[in-house]
C-alpha cells in the first residue's frame, strides 16, 4: 500500500546556482537543514526547483544530496514528469532507487492528447514504481477533477493531487466534491498564496516555495489548532512578499534565491536562475529588501 499519511507543509526547494550556471551543493545542503529546522513535514524537488532545466546527472545529484542530508527526517517528493511515458517511467524508477518517498508528475502538455491518453500515462508510471504519486494539476498542464478521480480509481499509487490550476479556490472545492469516496488526497500549491482557503476545502497540505517555511508552518499549526483568525493574520502580514514571489517568466526563480541569500541560507552569488529566466531590475531588489526588513527576515 502506498503511504497515504502525508500532510502539512512541503516547501519546494530552490536550486542554488552560481554565475557559471553550476549547482552550489553546499548551499543546497544548508537549505535542507534550514528548512527542516523550521518544522516542515516534507520537502519537494519540482518546477520551482527548476528541475526541468537540469541534466539527468544533475537531477541525481540534487536528489542524492537532499535524501542524504534529510536522513529520513521528513518526506521527500521528487518531480519525475516528462513528455513521454517511457522517459517518465525511467525518471520515476530512478527517483525511487535514490530514496524519494513520493513522486510528483504533471500530465503531458507539449503536444495535446486525449484525456484517456494522459490517464494511461499516469497509470503506466504508477505500475512501474511502489511510491505514491502526486498528480500535478497546473495551469499549463491540467488535471481536471474528474480526471484525477478516475486516476485514483485506476491505481492505488495515484492517490494525491496538487491543485494549482487558477483560480485554485473553486478548483480545490470542485475537486473535493468529486473526490469524495475515491481515496484521492488533496494538497495545495501555487506558492501557498491561498493555503487557508484551500485547507477549508479539503486540502491536507500545501507546497509553497522555499523562502517562508517558518511562516507556513505557523499558519498550518494555527489552522490545525482551530485559530483561523490568527492564521489569516499571519498570511496577511506576509502578503506583500507572497505577491512578489508569484511573478512569472522566470522572475520568481531569481527572487526566491535572492531572499534565500538575504535570509542567510544561500551564499552571496548563489542566487542565479538557470537560463532562460527574466531577471528583476535593480529597483525590484531594493523593493524586496524593504519588505524583508519590515518582516524582520534579514539573516533569519
Task: Write the pLDDT tens digit of every residue in 68-89.
Answer: 999 999 999 999 999 999 999 9
The closest of 49, 45, 52, 100 to 72, measured between CA atoms, is: 100
Average pLDDT over residues 120-149: 97
Three-state DSSP state, 117: helix
State the DSSP string of 30-66.
HHHHHHHHTT-SEEEESGGGTGGGS-HHHHHHHHHHH
List, in sequence order, every residue forming a beta bridge with 231; answer none if it has no partner: none
Distance CA 32, CA 45 (A): 11
Kindly compute the dihedral angle of the four CA atoms of residues 172, 175, 177, 179, in this order, to the nearest 10 degrees: -140
Whole-number pLDDT of residue 28: 99
Distance CA 76, CA 100 (A): 5
- The second-level CATH assignment, the architecture, of 8-235 is Alpha-Beta Barrel (3.20)
Residue 300 reports pLDDT greater than 90: no
Whole-number pLDDT of residue 295: 98
Distance CA 220, CA 22 (A): 34
Residue 192 gets the label, from left (phi > 0), alpha (psi -120 to 50) or beta, of left
Residue 60 reports pLDDT greater than 90: yes
Per-domain residue ranges of the chain: 8-235
Distance CA 231, CA 195 (A): 10
Up-side HSE of residue 57: CA atoms within 13 Å toward CB?
Answer: 2
- Between β-strands 42-45 and 75-79, what pairing exists: parallel, antiparallel or unpaired? parallel
Distance CA 284, CA 84 (A): 39
**Cα separations (Å) of 213 from 32, 59, 123, 210, 260?**
11, 23, 33, 6, 11
Average pLDDT of the chain, as a whole number: 97
What is the per-residue pLDDT across 214-256, written as a single tens digit (0 to 9) for each? 999 999 999 999 999 999 999 999 999 999 999 999 999 999 9
Number of CB atoms found within 10 A of residue 117's CB? 12
pLDDT band at 289 (very low <50, low <70, confident <90, very high): very high
C-alpha cell at 158: 495515484
Amino acid at each position: 500500500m502506498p503511504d497515504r499519511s502525508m500532510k502539512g507543509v512541503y516547501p519546494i526547494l530552490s536550486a542554488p546556482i552560481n554565475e557559471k550556471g553550476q549547482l552550489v551543493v553546499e548551499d543546497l545542503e544548508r537549505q535542507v537543514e534550514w528548512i527542516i529546522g523550521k518544522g516542515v513535514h516534507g520537502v519537494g524537488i519540482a518546477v520551482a526547483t527548476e528541475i526541468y532545466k537540469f541534466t539527468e546527472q544533475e537531477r541525481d545529484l540534487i536528489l542524492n544530496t537532499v535524501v542524504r542530508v534529510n536522513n529520513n527526517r521528513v518526506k521527500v517528493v521528487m518531480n519525475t514528469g516528462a513528455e513521454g511515458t517511457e522517459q517518465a517511467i525511467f525518471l520515476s524508477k530512478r527517483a525511487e532507487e535514490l530514496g524519494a518517498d513520493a513522486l510528483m508528475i504533471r500530465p503531458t502538455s507539449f503536444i495535446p492528447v486525449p484525456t484517456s491518453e494522459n490517464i494511461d500515462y499516469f497509470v503506466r508510471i504508477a505500475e512501474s514504481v511502489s511510491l505514491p504519486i502526486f498528480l500535478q494539476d497546473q495551469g499549463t498542464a491540467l488535471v481536471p477533477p474528474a480526471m484525477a478521480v478516475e486516476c485514483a480509481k485506476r491505481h492505488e499509487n495515484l492517490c494525491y493531487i496538487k491543485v494549482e490550476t487558477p483560480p485554485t479556490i473553486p478548483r480545490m472545492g470542485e475537486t473535493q466534491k468529486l473526490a469524495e469516496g475515491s481515496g484521492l488526497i488533496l494538497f495545495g500549491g501555487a506558492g501557498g498564496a491561498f493555503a487557508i482557503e484551500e485547507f477549508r476545502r479539503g486540502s491536507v497540505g500545501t507546497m509553497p516555495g522555499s523562502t517562508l517555511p517558518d511562516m507556513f508552518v505557523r499558519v498550518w499549526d494555527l489552522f490545525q489548532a482551530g485559530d483561523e483568525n490568527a492564521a489569516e493574520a499571519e498570511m496577511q502580514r506576509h502578503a506583500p512578499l507572497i505577491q512578489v514571489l508569484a511573478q512569472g517568466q522566470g522572475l520568481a526563480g531569481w527572487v526566491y534565491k535572492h531572499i534565500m541569500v538575504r535570509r542567510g541560507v544561500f551564499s552571496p552569488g548563489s542566487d542565479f536562475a538557470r537560463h532562460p529566466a527574466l531577471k528583476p531590475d535593480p529597483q525590484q531588489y531594493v523593493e524586496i529588501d524593504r519588505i524583508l526588513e519590515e518582516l524582520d527576515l534579514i539573516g533569519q
